[in-house]
C-alpha cells in the first residue's frame, strides 16, 4: 500500500474519513427525502426530525477530523491533547 505522500488526489480523496462521512450523510439525507413519499406524513416528520438532530453531530465529527488533519500537517498536537 502506498504512503499518503505518494497518493494522487483521487487516492487521497477515497481514503479520506471526511469524504466517507460526507457520502454517508448525503445517502442518509437522500433516503430520508425519498422515504417521505412512501410513509405517512406523521412518521416521515419523525424520521426527518431524527436525521436533523444528528446533522450537527456529523458536522462536528468532520470538523474534528479536519482540525486533527491540519494539526498533523503542521506537526503540532491536536487541541485536546
pLDDT of amino acid 55: 85
| Residue 23 is assigned to a structural domain of this protein | yes
Q: How many domains does the chain have?
A: 1
Residues 6+ away with beta carbon under 8 Å from 25? 55, 58
CA atoms within 13 A on the CB side of 33: 6
> Are 48 and 55 in contact, with CB atoms under 8 Å apart?
no
Domain extent, residue 27, equals 16-74
| Residue 38 is assigned to a structural domain of this protein | yes
| Residue 5 is assigned to a structural domain of this protein | no
| Residue 54 is assigned to a structural domain of this protein | yes
| Residue 79 is assigned to a structural domain of this protein | no
The tens digit of pLDDT for each residue in 53-67 reads 988 888 888 888 888
Beta strands in 1-81 (DSSP E): none
User: pTM (2 decimals)?
Assistant: 0.60
| Residue 4 is assigned to a structural domain of this protein | no
Amino acid at each position: 500500500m502506498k504512503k499518503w505522500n505518494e497518493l494522487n488526489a483521487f487516492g487521497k480523496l477515497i481514503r479520506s474519513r471526511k469524504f466517507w462521512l460526507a457520502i454517508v450523510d448525503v445517502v442518509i439525507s437522500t433516503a430520508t427525502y425519498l422515504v417521505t413519499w412512501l410513509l405517512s406524513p406523521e412518521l416521515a416528520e419523525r424520521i426527518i426530525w431524527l436525521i436533523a438532530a444528528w446533522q450537527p453531530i456529523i458536522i462536528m465529527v468532520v470538523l474534528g477530523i479536519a482540525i486533527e488533519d491540519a494539526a498533523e500537517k503542521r506537526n503540532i498536537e491536536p487541541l485536546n491533547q
